[in-house]
Amino acid sequence: MPSRSNGLVAEMKAVRTLALVGAAAAGKSSLAESLLHKAGAIAACGSIERGSTVSDHDPLERRMQHSLNASVMHLTHAGTRIHFIDTPGGPDFLGQSLPALEAVETAAVVINAATGIEPMTVRMMEYAASRHLARMIIVNKIDSQGVSLAGLLADIQATFGRECLPLNLPDGVGRQVVDCFFNRFGQSDFGPVEAAHRALVEQVVEVDAAFVDRYLEEGDVDPAELHAPLEQALREGHLIPVCFVSSRSGAGVAELLDVIVKLLPDPSEANPPDFIVGEGAQAKPMEARPDPSLHVLAHVFKVTIDPYVGKMGILRVHQGTLTRDSQLYIGDGRKPFKVGHLFMLQGKDHVEVSHAVPGDIVAVAKVEEIHFDAVLHDAAEDSHVHLAPLVFPVPVYGLAVEPKRRGDEQRAWEILGKLAAEDPCLRIEHVAATNETVLYGLGELHLRIVLERLREVYRFEVQTRQPRIAYRETVTAPAAGHHRHKKQTGGAGQFGEVFLRIEPLARGAGFQFADEVRGGAIPGQFIPAVEKGVREVLAYGAIAGYPVVDVRVVVHDGKHHSVDSKDIAFATAGRKAFMAAIREARPVVLEPIVQIEIAVPEHSVGDVTSDLSSRRGLVTGTSGLGGGTVAIGGQVPEAELANYQSRLNAMTSGQGRYTVALSHYEAVPPAVQQTLMSQYRVRDED
């Protein structure tokens, strides 16, 4: 047993995991092809234009020639198993890109040398840093015409810090690269490599005082001795290596494979993931140890559902050794499942394996209970273990959907539920106030792809329209309400009387209900009925037909009848008393305000900021992204963003992009509120 254990530890130390992230058109999928081909995992590089790449295997991806899903691949180089995940670069597909960061030690942020730093470059660097990952930057397409790689490196260091240092440099106008870490001498397009070598060594030794002393005394340190401080520098973000490649010509690809094997962290050298045990106030951090001999802890970071194959969970093993005979629990489930088949993925192909050690990325199929973000384990005491949740952008771009055929509503919910299970940034909501089923995503393209999947994969047709804005209602002052419900219909009557008061709560506090009735004025068994009546108003609104939020309701008095008092009577009295109180409490309609980030060419900044201001927006700042692109940050009412991409295209000649995330709710202007109230009265009369 010890020899097998030692063998598994050695196997784990020969595992590397990285996610290829960054902006669209950075060449991530082409780079993945080049890595697979150079390592001998595929016979020839596929083509995005021909739809023959390993990663972009979905029919929609092939047609659009863009990645839409995270795709998992693996290869072996120099005795090391390398798992990597090719992720989509569009901001509409962050629900695919961000979970990939949960499965890897290193985030490899790919930059297109021709377009430079883009908004998604910055966002993925920030996301990776927030998850304490090692980060590296891969500058791709270094043989593009007319690019200044020295200028791009300067932009990278200005944007992300002086800790971004090249591990290699291009030579021969991007035809090859020259190592700067292990190699002290030589020439590059940037000049002699010695300065780059010295900067790297000085940056690494700074994390270890003993090496600093040696460096000061000897003038250099053998890079072969710097493995431990190098891994520490990567863990702490003190070093962000920069590598140069051309996925088209293959320049730098072999060198990149060597960098991954020799310099990037193995599972035992990276920052541990943020596991938590317990819930609420009892929750506390728990360290998952990358030890193959311990019990299993694995995290499901991606789920796929095929109409014919069924559900498949793609997971990263963090602790223990997973085998085909493993009995695993899903979260706090009490019924285990047997793994049966264990796969490593090569795009759409499944390669069956006998076991997986910490660091490995594998898949299990046909387990219906498995779900995104689940922790799989083989020990009952881990039933409340989970990872610190990722912070996803809130999906706010919505479309109201309904099946084209009457009677298909249930099937629509089932299919949309499957699509939402695959994408944490896709949300389905039935809006009671409008009786609409609304599909929320991160943008127009996101939902367009979802609708195409509905048609092509599930053969299901829906009709769409713009949904009503998700307004809310609240109150701004305390008030009291009273209603007596009395009804006599010949037989037993209905009687219930309720006195209540309401007061506003802080924005986002929700709803509070309190019972302060004394002396049995309202018997205890009728208090839930009063609350039910109040909650009916919460759902359907009081002044404009939108849900009521951030209010406290206190029932303090009332009357009952020994014969005629019933639940329905007190529900009616509670509802009408609450409505009466709201109308006296200076009610307001709240509208969603979104945080918007817009990337535009420098020459379009004035037009875009003026347009934003004219639409009740607030510009909060601008920042340069390099390459003549500026990021504009601001806040704007969601109601003002109808068809915004079309307006942005017109102002920027099609070069502008934007992302939104829900920021907060605030009161609409009085004129808007009056319009919404008038429309509600008209609907009420109808």
| Nearest to 95, CA basis, from 416, 443, 359 | 443
Give 577's pLDDT tier (boundaries 50, 70, 90): very high
Mean pLDDT of all residues in 440-450? 88
Q: Please state the pTM of the whole predicted model.
A: 0.77
**Can you tell me the distance from the alpha carbon of 525 to that of 511, in angstroms, rounded to the nearest whole number?**
21
Label residue 332 by pLDDT band (50, 70, 90).
confident
CA angle 69, 105, 298 (to 5 degrees): 75
* Every domain of the chain and the residues it spans: 2-198+237-263, 275-387, 399-468, 473-585, 590-671
Q: Are 317 and 359 in contact (CB under 8 A)?
A: yes
Cβ density class 192-228: b for 16+ within 10 Å, e for less: ebeebbeebbebbbbbbeebeebbeeeeebebeebee
pLDDT at position 289 is: 92
Residue 686 has pLDDT above 70, yes or no: no
Of 37-41, 113-117, 585-589, 638-642, which range is least confident? 638-642
Mean pLDDT across the stretch 63-89? 94
Q: Please enumerate in sequence order all residues whose Cβ is within 8 A of that of 151, keeping only pairs 6 or more positions apart, or say none.
A: none
- Give the per-residue pLDDT at 307: 72
pLDDT digit string, tens, across residues 607-656: 999 999 999 999 999 988 776 789 999 999 988 987 787 788 889 876 78
Q: How confident is the model at residue 683 (pLDDT cuts 50, 70, 90)?
A: very low
Looking at per-residue pLDDT, the higher value among 431 and 304 belongs to 304
Please determine, for residue 684, whether its predicted confidence score (pLDDT) is greater than 70: no
% of the chain with per-residue pLDDT over 90: 65
- Does residue 262 surpass a pLDDT of 70? yes
Of the pLDDT bands very low, low, confident and very high (cuts 50, 70, 90), residue 380 is low
Question: What's the pLDDT at 685?
Answer: 44
For residue 54, the surrounding DSSP H or E stretch is: none
Minimal CA–CA distance to 71: which of 42, 38, 117, 33? 33
* Whether 84 contacts 73, CB under 8 Å: yes
Residue 8 has pLDDT above 70, yes or no: yes
Average pLDDT over residues 277-302: 88
* DSSP reduced 3-state for 388: coil
Please, what is the average pLDDT of the chain?
Answer: 90
Rounded to an integer, what distance in angstroms lies between the CA atom of residue 238 and that of residue 259? 17
String of DSSP letters for 355-384: EE-TT-EEEEES-TT--TTPEEES-GGGTT
For the chain, what percent of residues have pLDDT higher than 70? 97
Query: Strands 15-22 and 106-112, how do they pair?
Result: parallel
What Rg do the C-alpha atoms of the chain give, in angstroms?
Answer: 30
Fold agreement between 2-198+237-263 and 590-671 = no
Dist CA 43 CA 27 (whole Å): 20
What average pLDDT does this structure show over 128-149? 95
> What superfamily would CATH give domain 2-198+237-263?
P-loop containing nucleotide triphosphate hydrolases (3.40.50.300)
Q: Which residue has the higher pLDDT, 25 or 682?
A: 25
The one-letter amino acid at 74? H
The matching CATH number, chosen from 3.50.50.60, 3.30.70.240, 3.10.20.30, 3.40.47.10, for 590-671 is 3.30.70.240
Domain 473-585 has CATH 3.40.50.720: no
Residue 613's SS3 state is helix
Band (137; pLDDT cuts 50, 70, 90): very high
Domain 275-387, CATH: 2.40.30.10
Write the CA distances from 5 to 2, 13, 265, 323, 325, integer angstroms.
5, 13, 21, 14, 18
Mean pLDDT over residues 405-424, rounded? Answer: 91
pLDDT of 25 over the 50 cut: yes
| pLDDT for residue 227 is more than 60 | yes
313 vs 329: CA distance, rounded Å: 13
pLDDT tens digits for range 145-175: 989 999 999 999 999 999 999 999 999 888 9
From start to end of 256-356, where are the E strands? 275-277, 284-286, 297-306, 310-319, 322-323, 327-330, 337-338, 343-346, 349-352, 355-356
Residues 591-614 as b or e (16 or more Cβ within 10 Å = b): bbbbbbbbbbbeebbebbbebbee
Pick the most confident of 278-292, 465-479, 576-590. Answer: 576-590
Cα angle value 366/368/371 (rounded, 5°): 110
User: Cα(124)–Cα(70) distance, rounded to whole angstroms?
Assistant: 14
pLDDT at position 585 over 50: yes
Domain 399-468: CATH superfamily, name plus number: Elongation Factor G (Translational Gtpase), domain 3 (3.30.70.870)
Q: What is the pLDDT of residue 381?
A: 63
Stretch 652-679: mean pLDDT: 86
d(Cα 117, Cα 218) in Å, to the nearest integer? 38
